Chain A
Amino acid sequence: MTMTEAKGKPKRRPSVAPVFLGSLALFCVLFGLIAYRAGSGFSADATAVSPPTPQRKLVIRRVVTTVVPGAGSEPAATAGAPVEAEAAPVETAPVEPAPVVTSSS
């Protein structure tokens, strides 16, 4: 006999049937409980006393690209205007601005 050998009566393993039946019973209880709660409309919002859900505003910015029509002998350019290079849609203007000419001063 060595020092590692067990002394006394060896442990007996439980039989399969009680373990299976116990697990099945626990599963059924838990499943039934969950099904009951789900069927009764349980939710955190339903049970909590809280004010109506606030509405949140999302502003979606869209960039619109418009090809500038020609003017004069060559097509008009979108000026890199010195201060404000780009501008809002020109469609808002009811009257076309009067033409202005720059020439040698």
Chain B
Amino acid sequence: MSAEHEVTFPAMGSHVRLLIGGAGPGLPSAATAAAEAQSFVADFEATLSRFDRDSELCALNRDRRECVPASPLLRRAVAAGLVAAEQSRGLVDPTLVEEIERAGYFASRAWMAPASLEAALAQAPARRPAQPNSKARWRQWRVDEEAGEIVRPPGQRFDSGGSGKGLAADLLAMKLAGYRSFVVDCGGDVRVGGVDAELSPRLVHVEHPLSGKHLHAIRVSAGGVATSGLDRRIWRDACGRYAHHLLDPATGEPAWTGLIAVTALAATTLEAETLAKAALLSGPVGGAELLRRHGGLLVHDSGRVELVGSLARRPRVRLSQTNATLEVAA
């Protein structure tokens, strides 16, 4: 694999890391592409942040009209959130803004030290799988591409937090499609691509939510890898109870399902992020079922790691193919 240009910068309440290989014909250099990508991420965050009152998303959430003109990026973000809700059958619900604020997540928690996950698990209520909200407010949302509008009942609010990083990684991957190799890492949601990665699969390490150590390594030649967990955004609310950002849509309360982190593989990072969140909310049994198709990894409350699907196959071997050409008489 040729030398890659690397850049890391803070964004979206975390860090974004880009690794870009050699440019294809007619493309700007990897350094130029990285600068353009950084500019794109800045625009992405300024448009879609729930914590910036000047963002277009906050303007949408304040707007009292039913049909609100929206930029292509906001329309895309809303459409991505609705796709995630549809694919997760309502578990990854982008309309739980009131509930997440009530739980204590009304401002960015970037760079704030998280509460102790072990202590939270010790005090958490009985574990049970999350369920979709019976009202399914997200079904009342619609993106009208012809009119360039977002249509929804006034007063309902949207949170791009459940799908934003995955969407950003996928949009950046589209911009970097002509480069020999690239990795887009949006705060732990990763997208891998490029012909070099197909020849030499990229090693993606999975971090354990309790120890912080690398618990597993996955070779990825193309596609998305995303992890959803309780360890980074966990706090104590005004009553001293532990809370985190992954809510049970049925109750609007933080979900305690028996899993503390899930890593999912999929063709895109958005899909991987959706799968990881849906699997964590589904609990150990339902989560394993969701990950079975593309493969993934569950971390139980005890810290035990469970490999699912393609990651569970042992012995772990790589199969490659060589061609030999022989000249033989007809």
Which residues of A line the B interface, CB within 8 A? 53-68, 71-90, 92-105
Asked whether B321 lies within 8 Å of A104 as measured between CB atoms, the reply is: no
Known pairs A58-B325, A61-B323, A83-B222; A102 contacts B206 (CB<8 A): yes
Asked whether A105 lies within 8 Å of B226 as measured between CB atoms, the reply is: yes
Write out the residue numbers on chain A whose beta carbons fall within 8 Å of the beta carbon of B199.
87-88, 92-93
Asked whether B321 lies within 8 Å of A83 as measured between CB atoms, the reply is: no
Known pairs A76-B217, A104-B228, A105-B189; A94 contacts B294 (CB<8 A): no
Shortest beta-carbon contacts, A-B, top 7: A80-B310, A104-B229, A82-B223, A72-B214, A93-B200, A76-B217, A79-B218
Known pairs A102-B226, A105-B14; A60 contacts B190 (CB<8 A): no
Write out the residue numbers on chain B whose beta carbons fall within 8 Å of the beta carbon of A99.
203, 205
Most A C-beta atoms less than 10 A away, residue of B215, B263, B295: B295
Nearest Cβ in chain B — how far from A66, in angstroms? 5
Known pairs A59-B325, A73-B215; A97 contacts B202 (CB<8 A): yes
Asked whether B215 lies within 8 Å of A105 as measured between CB atoms, the reply is: no
Which of B189, B217, B222, B232 is within 8 Å of A81, CB to CB?
Answer: B222
Known pairs A79-B295, A92-B200, A97-B203; A55 contacts B329 (CB<8 A): yes
Of B71-79, B126-134, B250-258, B264-272, the stretch lying at the interface with chain A is B264-272
Write out the residue numbers on chain B whose beta carbons fall within 8 Å of the beta carbon of A97.
1, 181, 197, 200, 202-203
Chain B, residue nearest A82 (CB): B223
Q: B230 on the interface (CB 8 Å rule)?
A: yes
Which of A57, A73, A77 is within 8 Å of B219, CB to CB?
Answer: A77
Asked whether A104 lies within 8 Å of B188 as measured between CB atoms, the reply is: yes
Which of A58, A65, A103 is within 8 Å of B328, CB to CB?
Answer: A58
Write out the residue numbers on chain B whose beta carbons fall within 8 Å of the beta carbon of A104.
188, 207, 209, 227-233, 261
Asked whether A102 lies within 8 Å of B225 as measured between CB atoms, the reply is: yes
Known pairs A58-B325, A72-B216, A87-B201; A78 contacts B317 (CB<8 A): yes
Nearest Cβ in chain B — how far from A80, in angstroms? 2
Q: B115 on the interface (CB 8 Å rule)?
A: no
Contact bitstring B110-148, A, C-beta under 8 A = 1, else 0: 000000000000000000000000000000000000000
Known pairs A60-B326, A82-B266, A102-B263; A75 contacts B201 (CB<8 A): no
Known pairs A87-B219, A105-B187; A79 contacts B4 (CB<8 A): no
Write out the residue numbers on chain A whose beta carbons fall within 8 Å of the beta carbon of B227.
102-105
CB contacts under 8 Å to A, within B84-113, are none
Known pairs A67-B317, A87-B320, A105-B14; A100 contacts B190 (CB<8 A): yes
